Amino acid sequence: MQIYEGKSVFGGIAMGKICVYKKNEKQVKRQKIEDEEAEVTRYQEAREKAMQQLQGLYDKALLEVGEANAAIFEVHQMMLEDDDYNESVENIIRTEHVNAEYAVATTGDNFSEMFAAMDDDYMRARAADVKDISERVLGILSGVSDADLASDEPVIIVADDLAPSETVQMDKSKVLSFVTVHGSLNSHTAILARTMSIPALVGTNLAADETVDGKFAVVDGAAGKIYVEPDEATMELLEKKQQEFLEQKELLETLKGKENVTLDGKQMLLYANIGNSKDLATVIQNDAGGIGLFRSEFIYLERDHYPTEEEQFLIYKQVAQTLAGKRVIIRTLDIGADKQCDYFEMEKEENPAMGCRAIRICLTRPEIFKTQLRALFRASAFGKIAIMYPMIVSVEEVRKIKAIVAEVKAELDAQGIEYGEVEQGIMIETPAAVMISDLLAEEVDFFSIGTNDLTQYTLAIDRQNTKLDEFYDPHHPAVLRMIRMVVENAHKKGIWVGICGDLGADLELTQEFLKMGVDELSVSPGRILPLRKIIRETNVGQL
């Protein structure tokens, strides 16, 4: 047995034979030609045909993976229409008196090197796209079509790298999994693989050659591993894992794409809670309508230094882009209490849960807060980002936050940096916020109830202390009454309200929340479909 590791693009277990995917080598020779104008025309005709193929791929991707992910083929069309690209090809043909193949290959290399050298991650990833369009035109010019899968049975595709067009063109019924040696988690191929719900790994430390070709293997997408010729004991474990995964998938298949609507037509938004951009795969796999809580403090906890604006921006941008226009609610850092970060150099406190945490740190150390806000607003140009502030106890805090946000926006305006419309909400997780929720509702766009902290502060029970479990009643009427009060106050002021604490995933309370009129539940991704099932089986009017 050999075990190779890669970066997980999408979870799930795939078992089957490996098929190493080799691109058809398009050998490009430099040839002198006599009639440059005829060669330019030959190029233009090939380019026109490539445009038509890309339109076909766009239409196919639109059906299979949705508009946002199909957009890559529109980008490819735009690249092929780019004046600089076309002038470069035609110029090489005319001035060097060479064949169109050579001119396209040279232009493709030059442009992709130029993109690869750029500072911006997104632009760097476009190097692969320029190569992809150049390969397409070359294929048409030389009459060599793209490689096909050399297998009739479903296989695990192992490749050095895969261009987005190669991924989309493959017959999905024959693909169990993608495993590539190169490729980034940000690449469109990775995004496509996630959207297709195919277990996939990139950056895997194996060789895409005869050492693995044709061998039986198991891909554990979530663990980022591929087992080639696994032994019996490993196989047993993996089969069990696959069984669990399949049961979950079965539920998913029947409910995926369906609305979260009750029998009498009441809608509920079902969003996902994440702590990390690595969780995105399961968000999409479980058909979340958006992200209702991104616990951004994990970005701080994973490092031994304050994350820079750029580091944060790239993470938020990736999340926004992957969610492709769906709402992404990012909570500003909630350090303190059980989440301690050494480099914040906080003084030791007698009672950290009631100490300097969350928004209290942000308001006393605005330079840290502003760095995060700048990153968030910048990322809002790439998707539908909303910001949510934790541990609020007063209207004054919200006004202070708004003043800081106004400063950040003014700075971005002065620098000519774009940002989108950003909804701003607060977490309701202290009894104080509940009691003044009518006043707070006038200040913000939405509420999200953090029942984990709300329960601990209402019942005066430390959520970390397992010895108090017998006293801890998550269904305590005090908490449920508070939720009802918050929903009523929010609706009176015309704002929406969700629950992002663990209680939101409690299936025993789903009907109660529907009755109260809760607009959104944000839960760990795996809980979305079980919730959808209950919602669709409920008639609120008859409760």
- Would you please indicate which residues are annotated as catalytic (active-site) residues? 188, 500
Could you tell me the smallest distance in angstroms from the CB atom of residue 453 to Mg ion? Answer: 4
Binding of residue 450 to ligand PEP (CB under 6 A): yes
**Residue with smaller CB distance to ligand PEP, 394 or 452:** 452
Given a contact cutoff of 8 angstroms between Cβ atoms, the answer to whether 457 and 479 are in contact is no
**Residue with smaller CB distance to ligand PEP, 334 or 397:** 334
Cα–Cα distances in angstroms (integers) from residue 378 to residues 188, 375, 422, 460, 484, in the given order: 21, 5, 10, 39, 35
Of 268, 316, 270, give the one whose Cα is nearest residue 290: 270
Binding of residue 154 to ligand PEP (CB under 6 A): no
Given a contact cutoff of 8 angstroms between Cβ atoms, the answer to whether 194 and 281 are in contact is yes
Only one of the segments 116-124, 167-175, 278-286, 446-454 lies at the binding site for ligand PEP (rule: CB under 6 A); that segment is 446-454
What is the rounded CA–CA span in Å between residue 52 and residue 58? 10
Determine whether 413 is exposed, middle or buried from the number of CB atoms within 10 Å of its CB (0-12, 13-18, 19+): exposed
What is the rounded CA–CA span in Å between residue 11 and residue 221? 4
Among 42, 126, 194, 295, binds ligand PEP (CB under 6 A): 295
Binding of residue 224 to Mg ion (CB under 5 A): no
Q: How many CB atoms lie within 10 A of CB 100?
A: 29
Cross-strand pairs, 202: 7
Among 108, 183, 450, 498, binds Mg ion (CB under 5 A): 450
Partner interacting with residue 317 (select from Mg ion, ligand PEP, none; CB below 5-8 Å by kind): none
Binding of residue 80 to ligand PEP (CB under 6 A): no
Among 135, 443, 453, 520, binds Mg ion (CB under 5 A): 453
Binding of residue 132 to Mg ion (CB under 5 A): no
Binding of residue 520 to ligand PEP (CB under 6 A): no
Q: What amino acid occupies position 213? A: D
Could you tell me the smallest distance in angstroms from the CB atom of residue 429 to Mg ion? Answer: 5
Binding of residue 429 to ligand PEP (CB under 6 A): yes
For residue 277 the two structure tokens come to: 């951009």
What is the rounded CA–CA span in Å between residue 350 and residue 401? 27
Partner interacting with residue 500 (select from Mg ion, ligand PEP, none; CB below 5-8 Å by kind): ligand PEP
Q: In what order do the strands lie in the sheet with 175-180?
A: 2-5, 225-228, 216-220, 13-20, 155-159, 175-180, 200-202, 7-10
Could you tell me the smallest distance in angstroms from the CB atom of residue 332 to Mg ion? Answer: 12
Q: What amino acid occupies position 262? A: T
Among 334, 443, 506, 520, binds ligand PEP (CB under 6 A): 334
Binding of residue 166 to ligand PEP (CB under 6 A): no
Q: What is the binding site for ligand PEP (CB under 6 A)? A: 293, 295, 334, 429, 450-453, 500-501
Binding site for Mg ion (CB under 5 A): 429, 450, 453
